Every structure is written in structure tokens, then in C-alpha cells.
Amino acid sequence: MIMFKFVICFIAGIGAGLGTGFAGMSAAAVISPMLITFLDLPAYEAVGIALASDVLASAVSAYTYGKNKNLDIRNGMVMMVTVLLFTLFGSWIASMVPNTTMGSFSVFMTLLLGIKFIVRPVMTTKESMAAVSAKKRIVQSVICGTAVGFICGFVGAGGGMMMLLILTSVLGYELKTAVGTSVFIMTFTALTGSASHFAIGGMPDIWCLAFCVASTLLWARVAAKFANKASAVTLNRATGVVLAVLGAAILAVNVATR
């Protein structure tokens, strides 16, 4: 039984780690459906384990991107605060309305964003990023953090993908800096989320937690090191392929459970 847990958690960690290191994707999008489907874990417990796996994986990825000067800490902090605040607000609003049918939102977004990076790569340079005034960038970070936080809290998923999309398409970030800033923010949102899950639901399956954290951390480290050395074109293609494959795989797992 422990060996089966290890295999499932290791495979889930590969997908989650690569998604985090390459694209700042939340590990919850990969790990949760795997644990629920193959190990019959309660959804709340599975999400808590996924968020806990996200903390170290995002932290080591952010460190790697920061070491290579591909991280915007100042604006990342501004966006992080607004994301956390409006995630709480979105969750509160969601608790007062009927259940929506938006559970597959982040999965479809992962697949479509992957295709987008392959077909229309982000070729913004750091020079063009620097041309935007600091005041404008802070205002943009607040507005975008508000939108990402509310959607994440209301829908319950998609934070990492929303941030990557907004950082590259709306704020005009170069891809490596966008991913670095995204994983920096996700470190703190995942820490907050996992702490609240464990405080409310109690400690999860320790073996699953340990295996998922270790595997996700390992593969996030590998992906982040590769991403920071790759050219813009190679990184766009690699990110696109990873997201498209993960999106398709998660869709397949979701269909299999119905």
C-alpha cells in the first residue's frame, strides 16, 4: 500500500513540479485529482496536501529565478497582498451563492494557455519591461492582483495560471520574470492555504504528504534550473508543451472519475 502511494505521489509530483518550475502553476491542479482518483483521499485533504507541496516547490523555484535576476519582488509583493485579500473576499462571496459549474476552469485554462505559448510565444524583453514607469506598474499590480484573487477565491482554482496570463499578457512581463514573480507569490498563497486546511481539517496522510512534497520539490528544482538557462523561444515551447500535456492529462483523469 505504501509503495502504491509512493508511485502515485511521485507521478503527481512530476507533473506538479514541472508545472511549477516552468510556468508557476499551482501544484493543486495536478496533485488533487490524482490523490482523489487513485488513493480515494477526501477532496479537502487532497487540496491541503497539494498546497503544502506547493510551498517548498514554489519557494525553491522563486529562489532559482531570483538568483538569475528573473524576479520582480517589489511589484510581486504588491500583487501578493491584493491577491491574498481578494481571495478571502472571493471565498466569502462564493459561500453565499449556489455552486457554480466552474470547477474545470483551471484545467481548461492550463490546456489553452499551453497552446497559446506554443502558437504565440511571449517574446517581451527586460528592456521593454523597464520602460514602464514604477507608478504605473504598481497600479497595474494592484488591479490585476484584485482580479486574480477574487477569481481564485470565487472559483477555487486557477491562481497560478491566472497570474502567468496576466503578468505576460496584461502587464507585459518577459516570460522568465513572469514565472519567477508568479512562484514567489504562490509560495505565500500556498502557505496560507495549506495552514488553513490543516488547521480546519487536521493533519493529512503523512506518507502522502511526505511523498508529494519531496517529488514536487525535486522536479520543480529541475524545471526551474532548466528554464533559467533556456532561450526565450525554447522556454515558451517547453512551457507550452508542459501545460498542454498537463491540461489534457488532468481532463482525462477528471473524465475517468465521472
Q: Are the C-beta atoms of 138 and 189 separated by less than 8 Å?
A: no
Q: Max Cα separation, the chain?
A: 56
Amino acid at 50: A
Q: Give me the domain span that covers residue 138.
A: 2-256
Q: Are the C-beta atoms of 205 and 44 separated by less than 8 Å?
A: no
**For position 116, what pLDDT does the model report?**
85
**For position 100, what pLDDT does the model report?**
46
User: What pTM did the predictor assign?
Assistant: 0.85
**For position 70, what pLDDT does the model report?**
94
> What letter does residue 231 receive in the DSSP assignment?
-
Residues in Cβ contact with 207 at an 8 Å cutoff, skipping those fewer than 6 apart: 2, 5, 6, 9
The number of distinct structural domains making up the chain is 1
Distance CA(55)–CA(183), nearest Å, equals 9
Helix axes 28-39, 2-23, angle to 10 degrees: 160
Q: Which residue has the cell 516570460?
A: 175
Q: Are the C-beta atoms of 149 and 87 separated by less than 8 Å?
A: yes
Q: Which residue has the cell 478571502?
A: 88
Element (H, E) at 132: none
Torsion of CA 60, 66, 68, 71, to 10 degrees: 130
**For position 198, what pLDDT does the model report?**
87
**For position 250, what pLDDT does the model report?**
77
Distance CA(23)–CA(227), nearest Å, equals 9
Q: Are the C-beta atoms of 76 and 152 separated by less than 8 Å?
A: no
**For position 102, what pLDDT does the model report?**
46
Query: If you write DSSP's letter for every residue of 57-70 in order, what string do you get?
Result: HHHHHHHHHHHTT-
Distance CA(35)–CA(86), nearest Å, equals 28
Query: Is 104 strand, coil or helix?
Result: coil
Helix axes 232-256, 175-201, angle to 10 degrees: 30
pLDDT in tens, the chain (258 residues): 789 999 999 999 999 999 899 988 888 778 888 888 889 888 888 888 988 999 999 999 999 999 999 999 999 999 999 988 888 887 677 667 654 444 455 667 778 888 888 888 888 888 888 888 888 999 999 998 998 888 776 665 556 778 888 888 888 899 999 999 999 998 988 888 888 888 888 889 999 999 999 999 999 999 999 999 999 889 899 888 988 888 888 778 767 666
